[in-house]
């Protein structure tokens, strides 16, 4: 019989163990082993069956069991100890207060919160609001901000079904299901008005409709995460479904999701500030372009106070940080321009001219599409500071978006780089971290100082790696059996799963989203060769593969089907497995248990790719194309680099070349070293090495120790968040505070200056350039006197920077460089020397020839103002013709 009415009954805990409620609803438990172990010990079997969900665990206890726990003195003591520890964690000064900000900053400079917008947050599997790397990165960002005491507030959406659950059909096709989530059974609290009603935000929609959303709060340690939910009675059925699925729906629904995330997110922040008394954010960080409309909402607020468009835009840009995560244009959200116009004509921002909104997202550059609204372009135009997520990705992004800054070389485009990191307490196995704390001390581990790993005997480290591999294999066998049952197999057909994988075999992991550029099936390029690797009688390898394809990505699904059909082969299925429904919980066992992490994207299409970092932190090694983070952190001793074929080759040719290189590395480098031989060249005639005689691969473990000691701090999300604070958040907060002071006095002045300079630059001309002091045979060290005659028309010398740009000269076209292009450049600022009248000025400077070979220079004029974050910010430049 089906229930006609449904209730969610909250667990009422006895006073002595009431702290369990706070411990369960603050997501710090997900990275705090002592709290997690406390919940596990309340009922180990239920903890496992309920997927390690504290809220569900407490909800499963009846009154008798709760009374038993309340009467258990040891449990009561542990609850009190854990609650006191949480209280201390939430209130004590941490890095931000002690070492970075400090008391010397002064009361007037007390930092207001930093709002961090993202469409997804991967914090724990019990809050399934993520699809892949972007969400996991966002979750790690919040966790490290909490650990460091950085005053961040997260803003996202609460999806009624989260991302899909993946299973496989009998013929290996990806199947998607969307279980409906009950927020009352999640670690969330609803923001309420003083009268107890749900606090709502509202956005006007076309045709007189309104989109309402309630706001749920998740506590991520010290960091509040606000999640907007459109499933409220005030909405019609269509509006209620706006937040039904992550990355679901067509353009109309996706646009409304992003309007709610951006504009509704700002309104949720205002609600939260009013209801809790916390400060209004000083910095707004958009994690990808999905939340770009937050800037429009803030401009609307300021124009409602009487500011003009240019002043409001200047204020908003100063305090906005934009992070781009995609290295390919296809990965950017682009909406039909007419659709965006339709929604804003409905009154979303009545004070903001619709034409100005559309201009922010316009692809009004060479090669752009005038019919679309580009969310990344809008993000860059609304953020005074922008960054990519690895050094290589920063370079790729500068090249990809250089059309927004015509006249500038790609390396001058104002997009910096902060390489992603991973939250070590989340991703380092409890087995590893507990032993590390014993050996090195809690402070060393917390500070990612693993230098003393070199003191750990190889025997102990090898046994730890075996322990992690053993745990992975147990998890794989359980998941494999469950997957096959869902595919329709009977118990009688599944006896083989009990022997799948071997704890003594080198284990390679490959798990990620499955777009085509990540090349899930590259390892299948030569199936016979792979089979020989998997089934070698003495030195086999084994592979654990996982990943989801977007439901609309048929090509990705075909790749999964191809992979699964290979793993189904009885000849190899004990050595290679595909695990469906890749998520945080699977990753927490998979990544520590792998000896090698394989990553083979098409270079340079990987933005960062942090999964390999999580493996390295646990003593695994990386086998990867030099892309993303690996391009900058590979040093020849911490893993292996898969050679990259020429980008001029076809995709088929690249796959052939790089797959062959992958097989070669496995056969000649990884397998011999893992199984103890010094190298494939030294083994054989010389017989087994000393390493293989005692059963321990000492050279392999030397690489493991080197990896853990050298990469730990660089891979840490703590380092990443500290970089954001120092390089982006603090400059943005200071710029915002400066522009907004005294009723936006500097913002008004800066906006007026930009308008005047933008108009005046149309008439700026470099009329003539002279150079003196160079002989017919110039030599290194010679001084060149440069004079530029510039017509500034109505501008003053203080408005501009006149520069001599000099360096090596290309003698013929090469790739991205034209003939006579300047490379390896330096800049000399020319000083105003003489007012020639009628707006004409002479600028001069002395340039020293500092290199031999083809040498040249040019002159250009740029805007100059102390409030510009970059000389290229206004995308204005006049080059000498």
Distances (CA, A) of 364 to 322, 374, 378, 845, 876: 20, 10, 12, 37, 15
What is the predicted pLDDT for the residue at 677? 59
Kindly report the number of other CB atoms within 10 A of residue 555's CB atom. 10
Using alpha carbons only, give the angle 175, 177, 178 rounded to the nearest 5 degrees: 155
- Which is nearest to 351 in space by CA: 309, 383, 318? 309
pLDDT value at residue 106: 54
127 contact partners, CB below 8 Å, separation of at least 6: 27, 121, 186, 187, 188, 218
Going through 524-648 in order, the beta strands assigned E by DSSP cover 541-546, 576-579, 596-599, 621-625, 639-642
pLDDT value of position 1: 62
CA torsion, points 638, 476, 496, 522, in degrees to nearest 10? Answer: -50
Separation of alpha carbons 285 and 137, rounded Å: 14
Q: Which two tokens stand for residue 796?
A: 């003053």
Rg of the chain on CA atoms, in Å = 30
| Low-confidence spans in the chain with pLDDT less than 70 | 1-10, 102-110, 677-693, 775-776, 812-819
Encoding tokens for residue 444? 């060393």
Q: Measure CA 410 to chain center.
A: 23
Question: Could you tell me which residues come within 8 angstroms of residue 603 by beta carbon, excluding any fewer than 6 positions away?
Answer: 625, 626, 627, 631, 644, 647
Query: Crossing angle for the helix pair 294-304 and 265-276, nearest 10 degrees?
Result: 60
Pairing of strands 283-287, 114-117: parallel
Neighbouring CB atoms inside 10 A of 32's CB total 20
**What does the pLDDT read at residue 685?**
33
Task: Determine how β-strand 855-863 pairs with β-strand 878-879.
Answer: antiparallel
The answer to whether residues 477 and 500 touch, using CB atoms and an 8 Å cutoff, is yes
CA angle in degrees (0–180, nearest 5) for 233-339-118: 60
DSSP lists the bridge partners of residue 285 as 116, 321
């Amino acid at each position: 019989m089906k229930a006609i009415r449904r209730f969610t009954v909250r667990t009422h805990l006895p006073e002595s163990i009431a702290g369990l409620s706070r411990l369960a609803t603050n997501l710090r438990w997900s990275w705090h082993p002592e709290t997690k172990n406390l919940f596990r010990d309340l009922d180990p079997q239920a903890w496992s069956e309920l997927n390690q969900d504290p809220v569900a665990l407490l909800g499963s206890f009846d009154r008798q069991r709760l009374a038993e726990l309340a009467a258990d003195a040891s449990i009561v003591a542990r609850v009190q100890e854990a609650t006191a520890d949480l209280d201390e964690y939430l209130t004590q000064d941490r890095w931000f207060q002690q070492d970075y900000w400090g008391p010397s900053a002064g009361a007037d400079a007390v930092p207001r919160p930093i709002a961090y917008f993202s469409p997804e947050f991967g914090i724990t599997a019990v809050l399934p609001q993520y699809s892949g790397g972007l969400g996991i990165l966002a979750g790690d960002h919040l966790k490290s901000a909490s650990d460091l005491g950085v005053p961040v507030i997260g803003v996202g959406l609460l999806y009624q079904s989260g991302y899909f659950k993946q299973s496989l059909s009998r013929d290996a096709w990806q199947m998607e299901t969307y279980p409906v989530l009950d927020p009352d059974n999640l670690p969330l609290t609803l923001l309420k008005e003083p009268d107890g009603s749900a606090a709502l935000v509202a956005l006007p929609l076309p045709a007189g409709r309104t989109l309402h959303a309630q706001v749920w709060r998740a506590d991520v340690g010290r960091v509040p995460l606000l999640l907007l939910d459109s499933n409220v009675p005030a909405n019609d059925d269509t509006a209620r479904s706006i937040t039904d699925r992550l990355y679901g729906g067509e353009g109309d629904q996706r646009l409304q999701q992003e309007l709610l995330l951006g504009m509704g997110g700002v309104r949720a922040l205002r609600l939260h500030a009013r209801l809790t008394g916390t400060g209004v954010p000083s910095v707004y960080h958009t994690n990808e372009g999905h939340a770009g409309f937050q800037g429009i909402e803030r401009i609307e607020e300021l124009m409602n106070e009487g500011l003009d468009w240019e002043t409001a835009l200047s204020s908003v840009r100063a305090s906005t940080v934009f992070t781009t995560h995609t290295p390919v244009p296809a990965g950017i959200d682009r909406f039909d321009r007419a659709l965006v116009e339709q929604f804003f004509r409905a009154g979303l921002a009545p004070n903001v001219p619709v034409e100005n909104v559309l201009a922010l997202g316009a692809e009004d550059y060479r090669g752009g599409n005038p019919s679309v609204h580009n969310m990344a372009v809008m993000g860059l135009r609304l953020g005074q500071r922008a960054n990519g997520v690895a050094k290589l990705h920063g370079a790729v992004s500068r090249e990809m978006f250089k059309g927004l800054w015509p006249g500038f070389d790609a390396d001058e485009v104002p997009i910096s780089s902060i390489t992603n990191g991973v939250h070590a307490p989340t991703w380092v196995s409890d087995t590893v971290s507990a032993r590390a704390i014993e050996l090195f001390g809690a402070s060393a581990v917390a500070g990612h100082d693993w230098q003393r790993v070199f003191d750990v005997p190889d025997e102990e480290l090898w046994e730890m790696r075996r322990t992690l591999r053993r745990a992975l294999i147990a998890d794989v066998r359980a998941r494999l059996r469950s997957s096959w049952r869902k595919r329709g197999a009977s118990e009688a057909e599944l006896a083989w799963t009990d022997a799948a994988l071997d704890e003594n075999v080198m284990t390679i992991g490959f798990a990620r989203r499955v777009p085509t550029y990540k090349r899930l099936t590259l390892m299948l390029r030569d199936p016979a060769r792979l089979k020989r690797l998997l089934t070698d009688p003495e030195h086999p390898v084994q592979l654990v593969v996982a990943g989801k394809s977007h439901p609309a990505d048929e090509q990705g699904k075909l790749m999964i089907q191809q992979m699964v059909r290979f793993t189904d082969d009885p000849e190899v299925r004990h050595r290679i497995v595909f695990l469906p429904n890749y998520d945080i919980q699977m990753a927490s066992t998979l990544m520590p248990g792998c000896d090698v992490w394989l990553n083979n994207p098409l270079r340079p299409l990987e933005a960062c790719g942090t999964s390999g970092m999580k493996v390295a932190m646990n003593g695994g090694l990386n086998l990867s194309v030099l892309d993303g983070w690996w391009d900058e952190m590979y040093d020849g001793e911490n893993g292996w680099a898969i050679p990259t074929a020429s980008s001029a080759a076809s995709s088929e040719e690249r796959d052939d070349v790089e797959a062959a290189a992958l097989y070669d590395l496995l056969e000649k480098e990884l397998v011999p070293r893992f199984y103890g031989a010094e190298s494939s060249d030294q083994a054989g005639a010389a017989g087994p090495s000393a390493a293989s005689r005692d059963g321990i691969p000492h050279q392999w473990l030397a690489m493991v120790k080197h990896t853990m000691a050298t990469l730990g701090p660089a891979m840490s999300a703590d380092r990443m968040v500290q970089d954001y604070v120092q390089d982006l958040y603090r400059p943005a907060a200071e710029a915002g505070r400066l522009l907004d002071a005294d009723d936006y006095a500097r913002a008004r002045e800066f906006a007026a200056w930009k308008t005047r300079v933008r108009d005046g630059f149309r008439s700026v001309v470099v009329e003539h350039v002279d150079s003196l002091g160079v002989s017919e045979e110039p030599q290194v060290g010679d001084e060149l006197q440069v004079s530029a005659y510039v017509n500034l028309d109505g501008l003053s010398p203080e408005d501009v920077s006149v520069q001599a740009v000099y360096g090596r000269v290309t003698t013929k076209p090469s790739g991205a460089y034209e003939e006579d292009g300047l490379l390896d450049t330096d800049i000399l600022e020319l000083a105003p020397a003489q007012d020639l009248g009628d707006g004409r000025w002479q600028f001069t400077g002395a340039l020293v020839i500092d290199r031999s070979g083809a040498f040249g220079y040019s002159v250009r004029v740029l805007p100059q103002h102390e409030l510009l974050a970059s000389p290229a910010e206004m995308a204005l430049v006049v080059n000498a013709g």
